[in-house]
Amino acid sequence: MIEASRTLLPLLALAWPLALAALASLPPVRPHAIRLLLFAPLPALWLGLTEVQGSASFPALLLGVTLAASPAGALLFVMTAALWFGAAVYAQSYMTGTRKPAVFAGFWCLTLAGNLGVFLAADVATFYVAFATVSLAAYVLIVHEATDAALRAGRVYVAMVVLGEVCLLAAFVIGIAAANSLDIAEIRAALASAPLGALAAVLLVAGFGIKAGLMPLHFWLPLAHPAAPTPASAVLSGAIVKAGIIGMMLFLPAGTGFAGWLVALGFVGAFAGALLGLSQSDPKAILAYSTISQMSLVTALIGSAAANGAGYEQIAFYALHHGLAKGALFLSVGLVAACAGGWRAAKLAAVALVALSVAGAPLTGGSLAKLAAKSELAGMADTLLTLTAITTTLVLASFLIRLGDAKPGRGRPPLLLAIPTLALGLAALIVPWLLGPGWSGLEPGYAVRWSSLWSSAWPVAAGLAAALVWSRRPNTEPASTGRRTASRVQLWRDAVIHDVQSMATAAQVRGERPEKTAKRAWADLRAAIGVANGLERRLQRGENATFFLIVLCGTIALSQWLW
């Protein structure tokens, strides 16, 4: 009896949200459908807290459903269930009086089922159904508010989703033909030596990269996160993007030359995503670019592990922390907006602590997660991972400034907003330390050595110093306007100008006037930023996006063929 229940529990974790989605459509339930969100992740939570690993087969379903989570998938499954439950609690207050609650609840449950399914699927048919479900059902969560911004974000999102599905379907067909099997492990092994293996790898990265927000396939994400209701934004950034991450872990063949491209794309996105986030004014948009940066970094780590034939447990450990912390940060947007006075200051302080954890400040859960991720790196990759903490600190400082500038609420926030936000934030700080002995791969006491503390502290300190200089720049707007500077990007620009001018004195050695050198350097920098922002806007409008993706994939595939 006990063995039978263990076999059925993984299937129940996926079927239960689907049943609740159907229940939400019944007329007596529709007005209260938001309540169903609380119950949808409960079987998954039970499974995650008991035993995720193991396998269960159901030959009569689809083409034969096999559920068996890898160690990395099991860890991300638990995080996903916890985050969806926290967001569901938050939604009980945040979504009160929302339009069409039954529609939102139904597609919430569908998205949850697909999100959980990608971590449990062991055959390609089940994985593809789950991946398509989480991708397509999430569209309704994004456009729920039905504003112009939400509908535009939805159009871009669904176009990218369909493009990603086409890429994945083609890659899966290549893999199935090479392996003559639907088993994911066999497909992954077969792709390493298949004649079209390099093309399949490119298609896999494109399809999964769209979901994960890998730059330059990311442009749906900064549109969707601000447009969606805050609980949906939290699961989009903390859990749904992990569907792309687990896909890369499961399908990308190890030991291929393509991994170098993945590392390069990942580190470029890690820095560029954070810097582009500095130009945003919406706190949720800033967090969206932070997610792009962090998921690009995870992609670089996956590429490094694939090149070396290493496991993905430490990377999943890092992604678990990101999911918990980023979920808490997104939920904090609505929480802080509901606070005033001392309550607001206390919540901002708590949010700042979680942000420091994401940056990897010493003794936080984020520092342990980042040290675990670094354990498999060496040389330039190790240095770049350390430097990303500076840009992460910068972009999250910008988030905190924007969050503090938002219009205050009426005093004490509702408990249903505060409890899940603080619980997820506390989990991000503590859970990595609880799981560290079994998942971090680090020696006992390694994270509290002086060398480890210093390697975690100095990048965050450098980022905080840069953020302080940026925020303390004088307001150059005329006082008669009675308004604040329109954008903190202007302050950042002034800081860059000042630094460039101060360094230009070195040009005197070459006989060049410092003013000329400073102007020339700033003109080059301004042109580069203008090109980057212009391309970003064009991609978000959908202009040339498909052509750009085809050229990118074609270039990488051609390089693989030539090698």
Three-class secondary structure of residue 376 per DSSP:
coil
Of 223-232, 339-348, 539-548, least confident by mean pLDDT is: 539-548
- Please report, to the nearest 10 degrees, the dihedral formed by the alpha carbons of residues 367, 373, 375, 379 taken in order: -100
DSSP letters for 43-106: HHHHHHHH---SEEEETTSTT-EEEE--HHHHHHHHHHHHHHHHHHHHHHHHTTT-SSHHHHHH
Q: Quote the pLDDT of residue 80.
A: 96
Q: For the residues 148-161, what does the mean pLDDT come to?
A: 92
The 3-state secondary structure of 396-463 reads HHHHHHHHHHCCCCCCCCCHHHHHHHHHHHHHHHHHHHHHHHHHCCCCCCHHHCHHHHHHHHHHHHHH
Q: Quick one: DSSP state of residue 339?
A: -
Q: For the residues 484-489, what does the mean pLDDT come to?
A: 38
Q: 55-58 and 65-68: which strand pairing?
A: antiparallel
What sign results for the dihedral spanned by CA atoms 43, 86, 293, 267? negative
Q: Quote the pLDDT of residue 536.
A: 54
Q: For the residues 25-32, what does the mean pLDDT come to?
A: 91
Non-local CB neighbours of 338 within 8 Å, separated by 6+ positions: 409, 410, 413, 414, 417
pLDDT in tens, 175-214: 999 999 999 999 999 998 888 888 898 899 999 999 998 9
Q: Quote the pLDDT of residue 482.
A: 34
Three-class secondary structure of residue 121 per DSSP:
strand
Extract the tokens encoding 356.
């420091």
pLDDT in tens, 343-397: 888 888 999 999 999 999 999 999 999 988 887 676 677 788 888 999 999 999 9
